[in-house]
Amino acid sequence: MSAAVILGAQWGDEGKGKITDLLSEKADVVVRYQGGNNAGHTIVIGDQKFALSLIPSGVLYPTVTPVIGNGVVVDPRWFFEEKATLTKRGVDPSKVKISNNAHLIMPYHRKLDAVIERYLGSAMIGTTKRGIGPAYTDKFARVGIRVQDLFDEKIFMEKLTTSLKLKNKILMKVYNQLPLDIDEIADEYLGYADDLAPHVTDTSLLVYDAVRAGDNVLFEGGQGTLLDIDHGTYPFVTSSNPTAGGAPVGIGIGPTMIDRVIGVAKAYISRVGTGPFPTELHDEIGDKLIDIGGEYGVVTGRRRRCGWLDMVALRYSVRVNGLTDIALTKLDILSHFDTIKVATAYTAEGDRYTEFPRQQGVLYHCVPEYEELPGWNVDISGVTSYDDLPPNARSYIEYIEDHAGVPITTVSVGPGRRATLHR
């Protein structure tokens, strides 16, 4: 049995796509368990670059069955667009399986996402405006529409009528918007049924059987630990559980079937959208990390906020996910710095914190305590073995490992498949 979760250990964009792609070479099934097309996972193969959003990163291997689990929210319009883009580029997405129980992102979810953000003003989350939050809201309010409903027109229309009536009232009376037309939505969505049918299955059973048969199964998280609805910097989070506990729920298997949890962490840290960020750099070092690191969002093109590695946050991630090991990415970006800082604790209002503060508000006032480590100032993007890294680069990795308390088993030194060191 081999089932591993690959998840973001920080605020997303850690390089989960690259690490999932690497491990997919030996995988049979790759499953997304939460989120939706708010994710932007980049995979670089030679001179080709793929940006995957909803479809699992394993799709690039013909030997892999990519699965969209029940915990994902599916925008069918986006699914077909992503499928068409992949097909045009010579990738075959016909094997993608989608859970019958996954919830659908509807046009009113996208619309609400945009108007709610506008309404929040300075308190906005900075969402991707893909309708993720409103779709999960409906799921938990028990007024969501599931993938399987597309195959029962009567039920679909009943659910749509109930949901849209209220949504239109909210859109018109609260947000001063035009109402959405039920026939237009029904035509569009019921029109997807035939093309979606070959993809839809009981993915819980599919994954269960695969794990039981001894297949190599990967569970690919979207977003990251600090964006988790329960364990992240609420309310500046996404509306799902990217943490490891979200995997069994979002797939429909038991936690005992998972034997490895890999946390992907950048050698520094970034965040898109609003919310507290203790090690954020507002100076030229921050700008340098953004520029050299190419830190611009895959989904929205937004400039990411960047800062030094935060060990308080990384140790938190080890704890709430039960990480077995870490894949450290973008180490090559730090080659351009004479000294590298790592936050080991915070202080706020006279108190010292070595763990994430219990009271969210404190995080805004936290001043990081930094340890300074020497840089290596030499290009490492062509290095192919761990022992060939400069001693200061190895010391940096070993420092993180010691303080995180779990091994760093993979080190990434460039976006491509070959720029990876295994330990």
6 token code pair: 């690959």
Contact 7, 310 (CB under 8 A): no
**φ, ψ for residue 76 (rounded to 5)?**
-60, -35
130 touches ligand IMO (CB under 6 A): yes
Report whether 406 contacts 320 (CB < 8 A): no
245 Cβ contact partners less than 8 Å away, ≥ 6 residues apart: 255, 321
Q: How far is the CB of 345 from Mg ion (least distance, A)?
A: 28
Dig out the tokens for 201 from the structure. Answer: 């299955």
Q: Which of residues 253-282 bind ligand IMO (CB under 6 A)?
A: 272-273
Torsion sign across C-alpha atoms 35, 237, 327, 47: positive
Q: Is 375 in the site for ligand IMO (CB under 6 A)?
A: no
Q: Name the binder of 133 from Mg ion, ligand GDP, ligand IMO, none, CB < 5-8 A by kind.
A: ligand IMO
Query: Of 239, 329, 335, 410, which lies in the binding site for ligand GDP, with binding defined by CB under 6 A?
Result: 329
Nearest to 3 by CA among 168, 158, 215: 215
Cis bond upstream, residue 235 (ω within 30): yes
Under the binding rule (CB under 6 A), the answer on residue 290 touching ligand GDP is no
- For ligand GDP, which residue of 330, 366, 380, 400 counts as binding (CB under 6 A)? 330
Residue 333: contacted member of ligand GDP, ligand IMO, Mg ion, none (CB under 5 to 8 Å, by partner type)? ligand GDP
Residue 221 within binding range of ligand GDP, rule CB under 6 A: no
Alpha carbon distance 192, 111 (integer Å): 20
109 belongs to the catalytic site = no
Q: Cβ(373)–Cβ(392) under 8 Å?
A: yes
163 vs 321, beta carbon nearer Mg ion: 321
Most distant CA pair in the chain, distance: 66
Which of 11, 13, 78, 315 is the binder for Mg ion (CB under 5 A)? 13
Minimum distance from residue 129 beta carbon to ligand IMO (Å): 7
CA–centroid distance for 293 within its chain: 18
Per DSSP, the three-state class of 270 is: strand
With CB under 6 A as the contact rule, the residue among 76, 307, 368, 415 that binds ligand GDP is 415
415 binds, among Mg ion, ligand IMO, ligand GDP, none (CB under 5 to 8 A by kind): ligand GDP
For residue 37, the 8-state DSSP code is T
> Contact with ligand IMO (CB under 6 A): which of 57, 70, 223, 329?
223
Specify the residue for token string 């059987």: 209
240 binds ligand GDP (CB under 6 A): no
Shortest distance, position 222 Cβ to Mg ion, whole Å: 8
Least gap, CB of 242 to ligand IMO (angstroms): 8
- By the rule CB under 6 A, 250 interacts with ligand GDP: no
Footprint on residues 291-330 left by Mg ion (CB under 5 A): 298
40 binds ligand IMO (CB under 6 A): yes
Chain-centroid distance, C-alpha 36: 9
Tell me whether residue 365 is one of the annotated catalytic residues: no
**One of 21, 28, 41, 228 is an active-site residue; which one?**
41
Q: Is 212 exposed, middle or buried (0-12, 13-18, 19+ CB in 10 A)?
A: exposed
Task: Tell me which stretch binds Mg ion (CB under 5 A): 13-21, 106-114, 200-208, 317-325.
Answer: 13-21
User: How far apart (Å, rounded) are the C-alpha atoms in residues 129 and 110?
Assistant: 6
Which tokens belong to 24? 């997919």
Q: Which residues share a beta bridge with 374?
A: 339
Q: Please pick, from the candidates 20, 65, 70, 127, the single residue that binds ligand IMO as defined by CB under 6 A.
A: 127
Q: Which stretch binds ligand IMO (CB under 6 A): 39-47, 149-157, 181-189, 339-347?
A: 39-47
Rounded to the nearest angstrom, the gap between the alpha carbon of residue 136 and the centroid of all alpha carbons in its chain is 16
Residue 389 interacts with ligand GDP (CB under 6 A): yes or no? no
Decide: is 34 part of the binding site for ligand IMO (CB under 6 A). no
Tokens of 275: 């919310």
341 binds, among Mg ion, ligand IMO, ligand GDP, none (CB under 5 to 8 A by kind): none
Residue partners of 388: CB distance under 8 A and separation at least 6: none
Rg (CA), the chain: 22
Give 200's strand partners. 98
Interface with ligand IMO, residue 238, by CB under 6 A: yes
Q: Which is nearer to ligand GDP, 51 or 190 (CB)?
A: 51
Q: Minimum Å distance from CB 18 to ligand IMO?
A: 12
Give the active site residues: 13, 41
Rule CB under 5 A: which residues touch Mg ion? 13, 40, 298
Rule CB under 6 A: which residues touch ligand IMO? 8, 12-13, 38-41, 125-128, 130, 132-133, 222-224, 227, 238-239, 272-273
